[in-house]
Structure 1
Amino acid sequence: MRSDHVRLFQTLPHACGYFAERTAQNLVIDPASPQLDQLYGAALERGFRRAGGHLYFPHCASCHACTPCRIDIAQFAPDRSQRRCMKRNADLQVIESMAGYSTERYDLYERYLRHRHPGGGMDEADASDFRRFLTAPWSPTLFLEFRLGPRLLGVAVTDVCLNGLSAVYTFFDPEEHARSLGTYAILQQVELARRRGLPWIYLGFWIKGHPKMDYKRRFRPLQIRTSEGWADLP
């Protein structure tokens, strides 16, 4: 991906989703480009992230907290807590499904947002928000569904690229918090990457010490992208 071949736009300052007192800006690859599907893998390698039909990278003047990170599949081994998580959810069926809207998925998504993001605007998402945020016409997306019998407990929205998986978003039944379904979703994506012979899972951004983002350091060996390229997180 070369800047002379791909147009980049910078967004206007907007409220930061991680620090209430800060503003943020992103670099966005031209969303009208007909080559977004071909650019996606290279964009992941350079630390970009997909949200809906946009590929973006944080580009804030006074903050550099958002650090792209990825799991090294060949080297990853679950720790004791992660092994317990897998055992705790051994009764679930994991189904690779086509991405897209359904009433069942949307109802679960809505309940998850109401519980996790009350009063923040996201908890008012409608069906069009579901489609616009989680999928894009050009994205190689599948939904990993976690079911207890016929009941849908969680969905991991996963993009499957030639150079790895991108863990886009996970939503699950907030009443099933004891199952640690967020951790389980990442572990199942590790298994998916292994089945498909893919070397990386791109987890988006790690923020050191952030209560909602620091959990990613538990998936070791975790690599972070620095100004000099990818390196293992100490």
Structure 2
Amino acid sequence: MTRHPTDHPQFYLTAPAPCPYLDGKQERKVFTHLIGQHAPSLNDVLTHGGFRRSQNIAYRPACEDCRACISVRVRVDDFEWTKSLKRQWKLGKDVVGARLPPAPSAEQYDLFRSYLTERHEDGGMTEMSVLDYAMMVEDTHVETMVLEYRKSGPDSFITGVGEGPLLGVALTDQLADGLSMVYSFYDPEVTGVGLGTYMILDHIQRARRMGLPYVYLGYWVEGSPKMAYKARFQPQEHLGPDGWTLSPGQ
């Protein structure tokens, strides 16, 4: 059985592959394993350094001629509620997010497949089987949660759990200084509520209640339509050569 050191992680470099965000570009990633008792603290350190988690792997771009992928995090205490975001939050007033352990379900997978088919049919995750999805959720050595979003019921204000069909799911890591949204998806046929926006706003509110200063949104790529939505959540910090600094214009 292969064993990986946990006190002194080893880093590896992937071979070049087509970039999923910018046409004509090649991407490479540096990665390491997140396993064992030190995985939570290592995940904290690496997230601060611009890494993202996927199952028990932490990775970040290591492209030779491109630095377009920028790690972003929202400053919770200073978050600016624009008129548009206030409207989105109000539209979701009947949606409840329940915090659950990182365990997959058939209902989650069905929603995951519907989301990919409608929004990312040409993406790299479209071939994921139910077993692949289960591994994405439960193969973790860090503090991870699943947030399931449903319509509120008569007892939701007591139980914190909604009722009815599953509307959205967020796989989220809890760090020492924030919440890191690993992956989220939602019912593409639901109208009247911007579920993707609502789930980010819900994470910002949760982080505030938990006394956590940041919500990590992963990478923002200027010029990529897939990433444009992240710029709505201000103020945010970008990770650059001088560390985390306020994004331009703030």
Q: Same fold (TM over 0.5)?
A: yes
What one-letter code is carried by the residue in structure 1 that aligns with 2:207?
Answer: A
Q: Does 1:124 align with 2:127?
A: yes
What TM-score, normalized by structure 1, do the two folds share? 0.92
Q: Distance in 2 between matches of 1:141 and 1:46?
A: 19
What one-letter code is carried by the residue in structure 2 that aligns with 1:173?
Answer: D
The match for 2:12 is 9
RMSD: 1.7
Question: Of 231, 234, 244, which residue of structure 2 is paired with 1:220?
Answer: 234
Aligned positions, number? 231
Q: Distance in 1 between matches of 2:211 and 2:38?
A: 25
Q: How does 1:104-183 map to 2 (within 5 A)?
A: 104-148=107-151, 149-183=163-197
Question: Gaps (5+ residues) in structure 1?
Answer: none
Q: Distance in 2 between matches of 1:101 and 1:158?
A: 13
Report the alpha carbon displacement of residue 146 of structure 1 after superposing the two structures with TM. Answer: 1.1
Change (3 A) 1:191 1:140: same
Change (3 A) 1:207 1:177: farther
- Judge conservation of contact 2:52–2:218 (CA < 8 Å) in 1: yes
Q: Distance in 1 between matches of 2:19 and 2:137?
A: 20
Q: Distance in 1 between matches of 2:213 and 2:113?
A: 33
Which whole-Å deviations, capped at 9, do the CAs of 1:161-214 have from their partners, x for residues lacking one? 112110111100010154111110100001111121111111110111311112
What one-letter code is carried by the residue in structure 2 that aligns with 1:207?
Answer: V
Report the alpha carbon displacement of residue 21 of structure 1 after superposing the two structures with TM. Answer: 2.1
The match for 2:56 is 53
What one-letter code is carried by the residue in structure 2 that aligns with 1:227?
Answer: P
Q: Distance in 2 between matches of 1:220 and 1:167?
A: 16
Change (3 A) 1:120 1:224: closer
Report the alpha carbon displacement of residue 157 of structure 1 after superposing the two structures with TM. Answer: 1.2
What one-letter code is carried by the residue in structure 2 that aligns with 1:127?
Answer: V
The match for 2:223 is 209
Q: Distance in 2 between matches of 1:15 and 1:33?
A: 32
Moved more, 147-156 or 27-36: 27-36
Change (3 A) 1:54 1:177: farther
Q: How does 1:68-83 map to 2 (within 5 A)?
A: 68-83=71-86
Q: Distance in 2 between matches of 1:229 and 1:209?
A: 22
- Judge conservation of contact 1:51–1:134 (CA < 8 Å) in 2: no
Residue identity (%)? 37
Change (3 A) 1:223 1:32: same
Question: Gaps (5+ residues) in structure 2?
Answer: 1-6, 152-162
What one-letter code is carried by the residue in structure 1 that aligns with 2:226?
Answer: K
What TM-score, normalized by structure 2, do the two folds share? 0.87
